[in-house]
A and B are shown apart, each in its own frame.
Chain A
Amino acid sequence: MTPRDTASDRLRDRIAARFESPALRWGGIGLILVLMAVLPAALGQYATVIMTNALLYVVLALGLNVVVGFAGLLDLGYAAFFAVGAYTIGILTLDFGVNFWLALPVAVLAAAIAGVIIGGPTLRLRSDYLAIVTLGFGEIVRFSARNLAITGKASGLSGIGQPWLFGWHIATPTDFYFVFCALAILAVVVSLRLENSRLGRAWLYVRHDEDVAEAMGINRVAVKLAAYVTGAIFAAIGGAFFAANLGAISPESFSFTQSVLILMAVILGGMGKIPGVILGAFIVILGPELLRNLGELRLMVFAVMLLLIMLFRPSGIWPKRGVRS
């Protein structure tokens, strides 16, 4: 890269290096936490609801980032795992009267099992087959949700109760905003820790060169499956709280478009780069709010952006950073 480094790249690296200093980093984190805490009071309910949605997207996009950004697998049916999480909560709490917190691990388990069932056989194949199979899987889940009585067919499920946490009834939009703040922070921490771990490195090896990774003793299929299942678990947790937040879910919340939007969040900011993915999630949710008067053109804007990014800046809009180890 050295010879091709432009002046702007060097400047960016220097600015980035400034922020590597611990004092500034902790200061920055503290500032973000304070901003997150005062946001509902400062901006009012509408903004709080939008921000809640953006934070949900941060969780989902970070989950998908494990699959796409870290392991380099294209998943076009990610919303299916989001659906598995949401419907498991809906069905268990509504039909079986299970407590939300007991249903949550079941939702996670269900998504993990679905991940193994879909990923297990297909991860051995060419990576582009996985993309199509996941697309098919996404549709199977949505069609099933629309056709089965237990998922409430096309109208979905409603009346999903709001959970209690140690005497705190998570009920108002502001309550859920804080819950999603916590989830997003958790997702960031988990992503960072995974990235700098043995498994996280193995994902990168497999993404960069599968054959060499295998020659270095990495079980390519197992490592990819781990990424796929990890992504599924992120989505299931997001889906579970999504269901509790809205109280009602329907198949159309889990469409192909949903999968594509989450994927866009991952790609726009920069695949594999955690701050980039967070930025991407905010763009995908807040962008349409700013582009309100565009109506149906909103998705078009994203599609064109995606195409331009792939053609001109495949690494996403978040600046390149020097690799730490």
Chain B
Amino acid sequence: MSGALLNLSGVSLAFAGNTVLQNVDFQVAEGAVVSLIGPNGAGKTSLFNCITGFYKPQSGAITFDGHELLKLRPHRVTASGIARTFQNVRLFREMTVMQNVMSGMHSRTRSGAIAAILRLPSQRAEEAAIRDYCEGCLRFVGVGPEEYDRIATTLAYGHQRRVEIARALATQPKLLLLDEPAAGLNAGEKQDLIALIRRIRDERGISVLLIEHDTGLVMQVSERISVLDHGAMIAEGTAKQIQSNPKVIEAYLGQEDAEAELDF
């Protein structure tokens, strides 16, 4: 599939001889919302870490928007247009909401030490632009100005998740990777999240790839679903196709908490 925005082919990863991913082929089309599901320990987050440059797969190729990602360090991957959130919200502690979101703008701005020391007009303009853009991102995810100067980790959990998404949006990505964005959210917040994911794609034109355990949410929001089990891609298709795929059902039934996870 050459038209894909993100393309993984034959990606294999092992830690100290333990296979984590084997020969994974996977695509995300431009403008798509794609979900990656699978039992715990299937290697979903490892796949994210391979895409974002934190893990170096032993073999395979990952291309994104014409870039070969495997050679790139994580910050270069981000600069090329992939942003991510983390499974357990990882906001910068002791820093404000605004400062957290501003981190996303780093790779899109230039001012260095000398400009900052001399307070050059270009630097001040850039600082203002960073703040403006980040305010836009925060407004987009529904975090109000009264929260900008609060220490991010003191916010309610649902809002911390939103701040994390705003921070990822501030990197101006073409593809957003969300690692279990619904974990810990209540039903109402999950509905907001679904709406937010759709708006990210529709209003900002950002493709979304999410790892999620909440199958209800996955079925609602994603056009394509891929299923990872024991490091191998076992199924790919629309929600309907996945629901009726015997391999998928088997993979989930192998799990003790199968019912809890597979509530089709």
Contact = CB atoms under 8 A, between A and B. Distances in A.
B106 A212 contact: no
Chain B interface residue bracket vs A: 35 or more
A325 B123 contact: no
Contacts, number: 112
Interface stretch (A8-16, A138-146, A193-201, A237-245): A193-201
A155 interface: no
A325 B96 CA distance: 8
B61 interface: no
B116 interface: yes
A208 B119 CA distance: 26
Interface stretch (B18-26, B33-41, B97-105): B97-105
B109 interface: yes
A193 B167 contact: no
A199 B116 contact: yes
B67 interface: no
Given A216-B103, A216-B171, A218-B103, A197 B111 contact: yes
Contact of B75 (A194, A201, A209, A220): A220
Given A208-B94, A215-B78, A200 B116 contact: yes
A190 interface: yes
B220 to A, nearest CB: 27
Contacts of B92: 204-205, 208-209, 212-213
Given A194-B113, A199-B112, A323-B96, A1 B151 contact: yes
Contacts of A216: 75, 78, 83, 103-104, 106-107, 167, 171
Contacts of B119: 193
Interface string A208-229: 1101111111111000001000
Given A193-B119, A212-B92, A214-B75, 12 more contacts: A196-B116, A197-B127, A199-B116, A201-B106, A204-B95, A208-B94, A208-B95, A211-B54, A211-B74, A216-B171, A217-B171, A226-B112
Interface of B: 52, 54, 73-75, 78-79, 83-84, 86, 90, 92-96, 98-99, 102-109, 111-113, 115-117, 119, 123, 126-127, 130, 148-149, 151, 154, 167, 171
